[in-house]
Amino acid sequence: MTKTDTTDAGPPPGAPAPRGRTRSGLGRALLGAAGIAAFLTLWEAVPRLGLVSDRYLPPATEVLGVLAQRATTPGFWAAVGDTLHGWALGLAIAFAAAVVLGFTLGALPRVRAFTTSTVDFLRPIPSVALIPLAVLLYGTDIRSTLLLVVYACFWLIYIQVLYGVADVDPVAEQTARSYGLGRLARIRYVVWPTTLPYLMTGLRLAAAVALILSITAQLIIGTPGIGQEIAIAQSSNAVAYVYALIVATGILGVLINMGVRVLERRVLRWHTSVRGEATA
């Protein structure tokens, strides 16, 4: 092996990350921690200095103390579990439906053109506009939450799948045909790798929207979860607990986003965007 070959081969598997990359990741983590500390300091100072009454904005230490206390109770974790259940189930249903329909219609240009006007009509309808329908059909059952989550997340993923299928290189498609690959084989080896980055983008966006709509449905409709707990705390004038639940929702959103990002990097480790991010 020549010297040039050794250079192009890159570090061996399991080798430690370059020092520059480690420092860059550490710097981002320190900046993030500093931002959180500054936000909490400002939050603590505003009610303490009397700029806003603590009846409407309790200090950060009080809210975090209430959150820590409630985190030791089974009811709190039951609410978190109900929220995650609605989030995960709704996202899974939307993902499966969007992938199946996206690949099916994307492979049939005439059918896709036939359904374009219907998609353009349905996609802009906000999910919250379906709340009266959800209450009429399912009341406070979890199916009301699923209706809102699935409707919103489906379009986010479906449109990305269509973009991915449309982005397939015609030369690669014709080459696969010339080698005698059938429809399923072309989907697996040509269409799927091209669509996967688009699909993961849609999943990342839908994961955040699914959490938002799960909380919204619980808050307005009254299905079990963190949103319902927020509504009960607000009606009981437990202001600190309301903020504690909001903070818990934010933490949950950050964890979900981190999880999806890790999944995206694993699934797309071969893609140039992820490799470029890793070497940045």
- pLDDT tens-place string over residues 113-165: 888 888 888 888 888 899 999 999 998 899 999 999 999 999 999 999 988 88
Predicted confidence at residue 260, as pLDDT, reads: 92
Q: From CA 80, how far away is CA 139, in angstroms rounded?
A: 21
When pLDDT is cut at 50, 70 and 90, the band that residue 1 belongs to is very low
Question: What's the Cα-to-Cα distance from 97 to each of 16, 28, 112, rounded to whole Å?
Answer: 41, 37, 16
What are the structural domains, with CATH classification, of the chain? 56-279 (1.10.3720.10)
Given this model, what pLDDT does residue 24 score?
A: 64
**Residue-wise pLDDT tens digits, 172-220:** 778 877 877 777 777 777 888 888 999 999 999 999 999 999 999 999 9
Contact 40, 48 (CB under 8 A): no
Give buried/exposed letters for 194-209 (b at 16+ CB in 10 A, else e). Answer: bbbbbbbbbbbebbeb
Residue type, position 37, single letter:
A
Residue in the structure block whose two tokens are 């479906």: 158
What pLDDT sits at residue 255? 94
